[in-house]
Structure 1
Amino acid sequence: MTAPRTILYARVSTTDQNLVHQRVQAEAAGFRIDEVVADHGVSGVSTALADRPEGKRLYDKLRRGDTLVVRWVDRLGRNYQDVTDAIRHFMRQGVIVRTVINGLTFDGATTDPMQEAVRDALIAFMAATAQAQAEASKEAQKAGIAAAKADSRKYLGKKPSYDRDGLRRVQEMLAIGAGTSEIARATGLTRQTVLRVKADPAGAETALERWGRE
């Protein structure tokens, strides 16, 4: 019998992003990666996991007892239906799905209906957040392009103190009702920064796009 494996699925959608960074993050978080399956230059919005050159290999490679590691659920996709379908498929196959960011674990081991309900609600929330962030990022990109065209100096504004993962964490904590001070302590950002993100989430996305922060 083959020993369980830990497979990292990595995806980048643009040429300036780095696949290696996702493995480094996973190993720094304590994961021992046996194999990396990666898609480069593939959109998580328009291309389902099963339709990607390497993503579809996961459906053949993963076996009961294996662990699928992703930096966050948006690596699987940025479409609500696709992400939820993929995670539930792997759980039915006996595969454990784990995220590097936030240390989430999804598996099909529990038979308790309340635990199943909580797990499924969390999967749905994470998938919905991934799609919402993709849509907000697209709108922010449009706004950034329009602003750059309107300003011949292409003024970037103040460089944001957060990166993509930091902004996502703030948005997640805001979504569950965490207070400003609590979020600031958890993320290392100032209360003023958290309040600005809360007041203008689209503006926060635009700032990241303008500065090209991943």
Structure 2
Amino acid sequence: MSVILYARVSTTDQTIEHQEAQARKAGFQIDTVVSDQGASGLSTKLADRSEGRRLYDMLRMGDTLVVRWVDRLGRNYQDVCDVIREFMRRGVTIRTVINNMTFDGATTDPIQQAVRDALIAFMAATAQAQAEATKEAQKAGIAHAQTKDTKYLGRKPTYDRRQYQLVMDMLANGEGVSTIAKEAGLTRQTVLRIKGKAPDQAEANLLAWGL
């Protein structure tokens, strides 16, 4: 039985190493890391990514698949639901680093199955909704940055894009401000500023400073 970490990054501001470090810090004993670089989770299904296909070939009954959160598998609602259910049918346990969620096919109780499947659907829907909101915020941020006075950039952010995205992901998952601050390496005040800032304004500020 193997513990396999699947990591996915879609931009240069994210790193596979950070996702692996997060998993090990959370106590996971990783045997193998499988990763896709520059792969969109919204437009590309897991099975259509080079290392995603490898993951399908590798996983066996009794294995544990670890992901930072379900959005690493993808940000398409139907694909994420199908992937998790397929792996559960194979006897694979899926665990998330954030929120320490566990999904498996062990239960035969129909009520517990319904609750589990509803939770999977909710998390998959959240992943897609967040991806679509991020795309819209980026578009608005670019437009905002292009129209603002280039002589005044505003206050330079005390966080980079990776930290910003991590904060947004954890806020969407319901994590507390103190937990997020510790994980992202930021102060509580910075996390609160990010939380209170409109996404397009935050995007514009990052773009203006080249972050």
- Confirm or deny a common fold (TM above 0.5): yes
Between the aligned residues of both structures, percent identity stands at 58
Paired residue secondary structure (1:54):
helix
Question: What is the distance in 1 between the residues matched to 2:131 and 2:138?
Answer: 10
- Aligned to 1:108, what secondary structure does the other structure show? coil
1:185 shift after superposition: 5.5
* Partners of 2:144 and 2:204 within 8 A in 1: no
Q: Structure 1 residues 87, 205: closer, same or farther in 2, change over 3 A?
A: farther
Q: Distance in 2 between matches of 1:92 and 1:47?
A: 22
- The CA deviation at 1:21 is 1.1
C-alpha deviation, 1:160, in angstroms: 6.7
Structure 1 runs (4+) greater than 2 angstroms displaced: 152-174, 183-190, 200-213
| Equivalent position of 1:44 in the other structure | 41
Aligned equivalents of 1:5 and 1:209: distance in 2? 40
Aligned to 1:163: 164
- Give the secondary-structure state (helix, strand or coil) at the position aligned to 2:116: helix
**1:38-92 alpha-carbon deviations (Å, 9 max, x no partner):** 1111111111000000101111110000000111111100110010100000000
The answer to whether the 8 Å contact 2:153/2:205 transfers is no
CA RMSD of aligned residues (A): 2.7
Instruction: Quote the Cα distance in structure 2 between the aligned partners of 1:98 and 1:39.
Output: 18
1:35 aligns to 2:36 (yes or no)? no
CA distance in 2, matches of 1:40, 1:149: 29
Asked whether the equivalents of residues 74 and 130 of structure 1 are also in contact (C-alpha less than 8 Å), the reply is: yes
- The offset of 1:30, in angstroms, is 0.5
The worse-fitting range, judged by mean Cα deviation, of 101-110 and 13-22 is 13-22
**Match of 1:177?**
none
> Residues 212, 39 of structure 1: CA spacing in aligned structure 2 closer, same or farther, 3 A cutoff?
farther
Provide the residue aligned with 1:22 in structure 2: 19
CA deviation string 1:134-184 (max 9, x = no partner)? 00110111111111110224725563777323323323339xxxxxxxx44
Change (3 A) 1:207 1:159: farther
TM-score (normalizing by structure 1): 0.81
